[in-house]
């Protein structure tokens, strides 16, 4: 069975028929959807999906475009859920709330705080939409804490046939297990049921430590506080460690003075860092000295504040990123191997590598599925060449049974990924059952999840077989 022919129909809740160019945050991907639909409620989402499917068109839900891969890129109907926002109490005493799929994570934290609640764990930024962040397995750090998906107790989804269904661990458990970290491949999430702890503070302790000492006692070191992570600047022997410990709200905050927060986050972390990155890009030979100077200049910082303000910060320096989830115990050896590779190749790298940890998860397509995980993130300034660096490091991470972050650059295909995910075939089965005609298919999903039409690994469209390393994809430009 081939794809149904497309009919040029006008969709409801869509903007004027004018192909507007869409670009993601890191400028690694662009697309030109035929239609951008901005439905105002769930019924309108269902109407758009039903009409698009009947006309043989494809639909791609899009969040705030913070994924570095083409996972949100669509060349037909782009579905923007910016109007499906807000936090609704369900049973606040038990920490249960429902949030609109398009709610940004900063607005989610603000809405939860009004109910005396908080998100259990967050990543580095809070500009993503809730559904977008969930779809790629967005995570923070914490040896005993899962990613954002670990807080989800149920989803409302619009399926390809226009039906609105609820799924949870009890109701349609297979659909839930597949769709909670679902890459937008199983349906359009309209609302998320979340379990949230009471609002809490984080006591932050940020300081440098010798890298080798951190790697030698890695498991214990990463469990020394609730949320531990570290950055390693190449060409130095220093780990910049961040330890965040959860404290009850009643203890009271002890935030950084406003001038110090501004100096650290806006001037040093973004302004000076942007300048040093530019200098390092123009004169790569300067990079090792700049990195050593930067790590020496950073002192200890201690403060206590509301959790979401400590978990997240602003990232204004645009970068390209790859991140892999690894078996946790293997991280020290893998990072040492990456260090040796950087030295051997003589790369000059101004951006740090970031190491985080998370607990095993049930979601079938979570990169942390079924195993205690360490995440290794490799970043490069947007203006600098990055393909050789990222693909070189990727070989090391792949050899270590790493699973790529779905929202960050990687070169893996469904064929590579299937053996790494014990429930990959189950997820493909659920996808074929709920979207047999490939309404939510895209060239990128063909590549990473396999095609829907004809089953198995077969790509739905020709673009799915193009080698992305060449940057030669027909619709979406994605150089890695
Ligand atoms: C500066 C920066 C910092 C970051 N920090 C972290 C971090 O600390 N930890 C981490 O894990 N990741 C991090 N990321 C990656 C980011 O969290 C993910 O790529 C996330 O998916 C982006 O969310 P979004 O709202 O921008 O979604 P998009 O990138 O727009 O879309 C992502 C996916 O969600 C799907 N989607 C969107 N809405 C819906 C819906 N309603 N229903 C079904 N599917 C939907 C899309 O189809 C797509 O598959 C970072 C990215 C950047 C640029």
Q: From the CA of 82, how far away is ligand 1's center (Å)?
A: 14
Residue whose CA lies nearest to ligand 1 atom number 52? 66
Mean pLDDT of 443-469: 58
- The preferred substitution site among 65, 67, 314 for testing ligand 1, maximizing ligand atoms within 8 Å of CB, is 67
Kind and range of the H or E run holding 180: none
Higher-confidence residue of 472 and 383: namely 383
CA 218 centroid distance within chain? 24
Nearest to 310 by CA among 62, 141, 475: 141
pLDDT of residue 478: 44
Q: From the CA of 346, how far away is ligand 1's center (Å)?
A: 33
Give residue-wise pLDDT tens across range 143-184.
Answer: 999 999 999 999 999 999 999 999 999 999 999 999 999 999
**Strand 319-327 relative to strand 164-167: parallel, antiparallel, unpaired?**
unpaired
pLDDT at residue 299 is higher than 90: no
pLDDT of residue 377: 97
pLDDT of residue 272: 58
Give residue-wise pLDDT tens across range 89-144.
Answer: 999 999 999 999 999 999 999 999 999 999 999 999 999 999 999 999 999 999 99
Q: From the CA of 1, how far away is ligand 1's center (Å)?
A: 32
Residue whose CA lies nearest to ligand 1 atom number 34? 132
DSSP codes of every residue in 44-77: HHHHHHHHHHHTT--EEEE-SS--SSGGG--SSE
- The preferred substitution site among 136, 155, 439 for testing ligand 1, maximizing ligand atoms within 8 Å of CB, is 136
Q: From the CA of 135, how far away is ligand 1's center (Å)?
A: 7
| CA 440 vs CA 36, 76, 360, 411, 472: distances in Å | 15, 10, 28, 21, 22
- Name the pLDDT band for 27 (thresholds 50, 70, 90): confident
Q: Name the residue with tokens 């239609």.
A: 35
Separation CA 386–CA 319 (nearest Å): 10
The residues pairing with 22 across neighbouring beta strands, listed in sequence order, are 31
pLDDT at residue 294 is higher than 50: yes
Q: Which atom of ligand 1 is nearest to the CA of 101?
A: 41
Mean pLDDT of 335-356: 94
Separation CA 59–CA 81 (nearest Å): 13
Residue ranges around ligand 1 (CB below 6 Å): 25-26, 60-67, 71-72, 81, 101, 123-125, 128-129, 131-133, 135-136, 138-139, 183-184, 188-189, 315, 405, 407
For the chain, the C-alpha Rg in angstroms (whole number) is 22
pLDDT of residue 192: 98
**Strand 238-248 relative to strand 301-306: parallel, antiparallel, unpaired?**
unpaired
Residue whose CA lies nearest to ligand 1 atom number 49? 183
375 contacts 350 by C-beta, under 8 angstroms: no
| CA 74 vs CA 61, 82, 102, 243, 275: distances in Å | 8, 17, 18, 39, 35
Mean pLDDT of 9-28: 72
Q: From the CA of 259, how far away is ligand 1's center (Å)?
A: 31
In sign, the C-alpha dihedral spanning 474, 475, 479, 480 is negative
Residue whose CA lies nearest to ligand 1 atom number 45? 184
- Name the pLDDT band for 386 (thresholds 50, 70, 90): confident
Q: Which atom of ligand 1 is nearest to the CA of 137?
A: 11
Nearest to 365 by CA among 403, 333, 339, 321: 403
158 contacts 46 by C-beta, under 8 angstroms: yes
Q: From the CA of 250, how far away is ligand 1's center (Å)?
A: 33
Residue whose CA lies nearest to ligand 1 atom number 12? 138
Residue whose CA lies nearest to ligand 1 atom number 44? 184
**What are the tokens at 238?**
């220093």
DSSP codes of every residue in 322-350: EEEEEEGGGHHHHHHHHHHHHHHHT----
- Name the pLDDT band for 421 (thresholds 50, 70, 90): very high
């Amino acid at each position: 069975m081939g794809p149904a022919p497309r009919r040029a129909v006008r969709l409801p809740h869509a903007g004027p028929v004018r192909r507007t160019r869409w670009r993601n945050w890191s400028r690694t991907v662009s697309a030109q959807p035929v239609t951008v639909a901005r439905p105002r409620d769930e019924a309108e989402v269902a109407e758009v999906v039903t009409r698009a499917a009947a006309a043989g068109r494809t639909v791609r839900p899009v969040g705030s475009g913070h994924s570095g891969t083409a996972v949100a890129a669509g060349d037909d109907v782009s579905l923007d859920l910016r109007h499906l926002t807000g936090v609704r109490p369900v049973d606040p005493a038990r920490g249960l709330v429902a949030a609109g799929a398009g709610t940004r994570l900063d607005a989610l934290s603000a809405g939860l705080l009004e109910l005396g609640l908080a998100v259990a764990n967050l990543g580095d930024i809070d500009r993503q939409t809730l559904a977008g962040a969930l779809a790629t397995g967005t995570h923070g750090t914490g040896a005993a804490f899962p990613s954002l998906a670990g807080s989800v107790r149920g989803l409302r989804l619009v399926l390809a046939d226009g039906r609105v269904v609820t799924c949870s661990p009890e109701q349609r458990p297979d659909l839930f297990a597949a769709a909670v970290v679902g890459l937008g491949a199983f349906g359009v999430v309209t609302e998320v049921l979340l379990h949230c702890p009471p609002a809490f503070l984080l006591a932050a302790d940020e300081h440098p430590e010798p890298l080798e000492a951190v790697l030698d006692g890695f498991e214990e070191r990463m469990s020394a506080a609730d949320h531990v992570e570290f950055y390693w600047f190449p060409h130095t022997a220093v780990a910049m460690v961040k330890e965040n410990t959860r404290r009850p709200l009643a203890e009271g905050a002890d935030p950084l003075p406003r001038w110090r927060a501004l100096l650290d986050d806006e001037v040093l972390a973004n302004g000076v860092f942007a300048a040093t990155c530019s200098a390092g890009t123009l004169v790569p030979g300067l990079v090792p000295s700049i990195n050593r100077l930067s790590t020496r200049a950073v002192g200890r910082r201690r403060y206590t504040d509301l959790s979401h303000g400590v978990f997240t910060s602003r990232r204004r320096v645009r970068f390209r990123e790859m991140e892999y989830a690894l078996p946790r115990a293997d991280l020290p050896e893998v990072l040492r191997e990456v260090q040796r590779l950087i030295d051997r190749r003589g790369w000059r790298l101004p951006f740090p590598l970031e190491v985080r940890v998370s607990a095993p998860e049930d979601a079938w397509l979570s990169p942390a599925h079924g195993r205690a995980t360490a995440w290794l993130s490799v970043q490069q300034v947007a203006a600098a060449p990055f393909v050789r660096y990222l693909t070189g490091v990727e070989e090391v991470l792949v050899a270590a049974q790493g699973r790529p972050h779905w929202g960050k650059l990687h070169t893996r295909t469904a064929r590579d990924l299937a053996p790494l995910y014990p429930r990959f075939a189950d997820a493909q089965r659920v996808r074929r059952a709920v979207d047999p005609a490939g309404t939510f298919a895209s060239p990128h999903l063909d590549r990473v999840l396999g095609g829907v039409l004809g089953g198995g690994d077969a790509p739905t469209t020709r673009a799915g077989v193009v080698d992305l390393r060449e940057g030669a994809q027909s619709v979406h430009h994605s150089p890695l």
